Homo-oligomer: A and B are copies of this chain.
Amino acid sequence: MTPLYAQVKSHILDQIRSGTLTAGKRVPSENELVTQFNISRMTANRALKELTADGFLARVPGVGTFVREATPRTSLIELRNIADEIAARGHRYSSRIEDLREINATPNLIKDFEFKSASPLFHIAIVHEENGMPVQFEDRYVNPFSAPNFLKQNFAEQTPTAYLLALLPADELEHNVEAIMPDANQQRRLKITNVEPCLSLHRRTWSGGHVVTSATLIYPASRYALYSRYNTGAKPQ
């Protein structure tokens, strides 16, 4: 049984995703949600407060709660599923798998995965699309000891990130960001016509002390920015 506040959150998120509620629109007030869902105001308050903390809504005391501008940003801190992000913007997600097989680790990959000797690895190359437009090229290697059934998954249904996160909780992350000029191969995959700089995000993910996966994600700069925000826990004033 999902909690009431979560049901209200889903309901509002669905409306944002479906386009019923667009950026700037006013969402129902707490009291309106009370009568609409037959819940208490504190429950409605929790739903709206959490959606605000998640960055979907903005609240103005004395005025109302509004849908925030959808910023095509991806979080550096959290691991987010790109399919969900695109859906949250009310857009259509699709993907094109360009490679999916077992390979032998190169010396660099052995180092990446902290292996002591040569080992097989799973590899996937996949292009993520938003409304048919490529927005991310994912080049990922996976530890076969951590996810032995990786190759058998249907990645048209579920992204590699979603599958791996459901299988193994990520307890440590490493990110490395660079600005690059895409090579001919990457340009073709991302359907870049005029040459533009891209963000290259290299991410390693640990679970239980082992490197589970190592991925290079390439974003065309004009279509994506990486975003992170957090509380440092420093003394408030």
Contact = CB atoms under 8 A, between A and B. Distances in A.
Contacts of A226: 175-178
B181 A234 contact: no
Oligomer: number of copies? 2
Contacts of A198: 179, 197
Interface in A223-237: 225-237
B208 A180 contact: no
Interface string A176-211: 111111000000000000001111000000011100
Interface SS of chain A: mixed
Interface in A14-42: 14, 16-17
A169 B178 CA distance: 28
Contact of A179 (B6, B13, B76, B197): B197
A73 B77 CA distance: 11
Interface of A: 2, 6, 10, 13-14, 16-17, 53-56, 73, 76-77, 79, 169-181, 196-199, 207-209, 219, 221, 225-237
